[in-house]
Amino acid sequence: MDRLLASQVDRAARAFPAVVLTGPRRAGKTTLLRTLRPDAEYRLLEEPDLVAQVRSDPRAFMESLRTPVILDEVQNVPEILPWVRARIDAAPSRRGRYFLTGSQDFSLMEGVTESMAGRAAILRLLPLSTQETPKVTMIDGGYPEVLKRPRDRSLWFASYLQTYIERDIRSILAVRDLATFRRFLGLLSTRHAQVLNRTDLAAPLGVSVPTISQWLGTLEATGTIAMVHPWHDNAGKRLVKSPKVYFVDSGLACHLLGIASDADLRRSPFLGGIFEGFVAAEILKAQANAGRPPQLHWFRDRRGLEVDFVLPTSRGGVALVEAKATRTVRPEMAGPMLRLAHAMRERGGRAPRCLVVHEGPALATRALAPGAEAVDLSALLAAIAADR
C-alpha cells in the first residue's frame, strides 16, 4: 500500500543528510524506507550480535557501512548517533545518506536533539489512514498486517501486546509486574476518549499516581496513545487543565475492550468513544503525513460547554469539530459548537468553521444549521489537507 508520507521522506532526503522516521512498532516504517530506497544498505539494530558489535567498536561499524543506509530501531544503540553526526559533518553537502527509524520517540529524540540538530529531518509514521486505504475501519484499525489478514485480528493484537510489553515496556520502564501493566492497558482502554484522571487509574491498580504518569508518558512516546490537550481561549487561559486520552489505533482499543466484531461494536456502550478516537487519530495521521506537527485540542468550560475538537487553521483561526457515531445528523448536534463560536465572535475573534463529522456515506447537503455543516470523515480530512 502506498504511504502518503513517502513524498515527505523524499523531500526531506533531498534537503538533509539524514532522515529520522519515528512511530509505533509495526506501523510500516521499515517497509516504507526499503520501498523508497531499495538499493540502500539495511541494518536492523535489534539483533543481539549486531548490537554488541556496534557497542564494542562503533568506528569499525560505521566504516563498514555503504551509504545510503537504513539503520532500523536505532533507539537500541543511541550511542551510534554521535558517530553518524561525525560522518555527516565530514561531508555536509551530501544529502539523503542516513535513514534512521525508531519506535521509542523520547529516547530517540533526545539523542537526535543532542547529536544531529540541523542535520536530520524528523518525520512520524502512524498506522495506515482512511486516506491511504478504505480497508481502515474502527474495528480493524490501521496496522498493515491486520489489514492484510483481518480474520487473524485478535491473534495479531494479542501477539503485538505481548511483544510490546515484554520488549519495549520491560526495556524502557523495567516494570517488574507486567501483569499489572497489562491490567493498566485494559483499564485505560475503558477511558478511551475521556478526560484523563490519573488518580482514577492508580487506585484500582494499587500503584502511585507518579507511576501512572510514567506509564502514560511511555505509551505516548511509543505512539500507542495520544494526549489531546485543552484549547486556550483568547486570554491564554486553559479552561480545563486535563487532556483527553485516545488510543492511536482504534483496532487495538477494540481488542483491549473485548470488541471482536463490527456487530459487537454497534452494540457496545463504547461506540461513541471509539468513533471519536477514530476521528482524532485520522486527524493526527493527516497532519503527520503532511509533515506537520500535531495540532489538535478540545474544549470544555466551567459551565460544561464542551466541543470535541478545536483545530487551529493556517490563517490564524480555528475549526470546531463534533464527532457523532451516527448517519442521522440533527441540528441540535451543532449546538455546543455554535455557542462556543458565538462566544468567540463576541470576544472579537474570527468566526470559526463548525463541522459535525458523522459516519458515511456523505449527505446530499452539508447544511445542518446556520453556521454549521455536516460532513463525513473524508470531507473533514480533505478540509484539513486544503488548509496548508
Map grid coordinates 496496522 to a residue. Answer: 143
pLDDT of residue 235: 43
pLDDT higher than threshold 90 for residue 68: yes
Most confident of 74-83, 140-149, 223-232, 325-334: 140-149
Query: Which cell goes with 123?
Result: 518525520
Q: Which of 69-83, 101-115, 320-334 has the least mean pLDDT? A: 101-115
166 lies in the same domain as 242:
yes
Categorize the per-residue pLDDT at 236 as very low, low, confident or very high, splitting at 50, 70 and 90.
Answer: very low
Residue 289 domain-assigned (yes or no): no
The grid coordinates listed for 77 are: 544503540
**Is the pLDDT assigned to residue 237 strictly greater than 60?**
no
- 268 and 325 co-located in one domain: no
Q: 22 φ, ψ to 5°?
A: -110, 175
Domain boundary among the residues 55, 90, 124 is at 124
- Last residue of some domain: 256, 284, 312? 284
> Are residues 115 and 11 part of one domain?
yes
- Do 160 and 51 share a domain, yes or no? no
CATH number assigned to the domain comprising residue 47: 3.40.50.300
For 39, the domain range is 6-124
Q: Say if residue 309 is in the same domain as residue 280.
A: no
| Percent of the chain scoring above 70 in pLDDT | 96
Q: Name the DSSP class of 232.
A: B
Whose CA is closest to 102, among 36, 160, 29, 40?
Answer: 29
Contacts of 86 (CB under 8 A, 6+ apart): none
Cβ atoms 337, 322 nearer than 8 A: yes
pLDDT at residue 208, as a whole number? 94
Question: Are residues 208 and 111 part of one domain?
Answer: no
Helix (H) / strand (E) containing 361: none
Q: How many domains does the chain have?
A: 3
Question: Residue 92 has which C-alpha cell?
Answer: 555536509
Partner residues linked to 70 by β-bridges: 42, 99
Which pTM does this prediction carry?
A: 0.94
pLDDT mean over 12-25: 95
* Nearest one of 137, 145, 148 to 261, comparing CA atoms: 137
Tell me: do 179 and 224 sit in the same domain.
yes
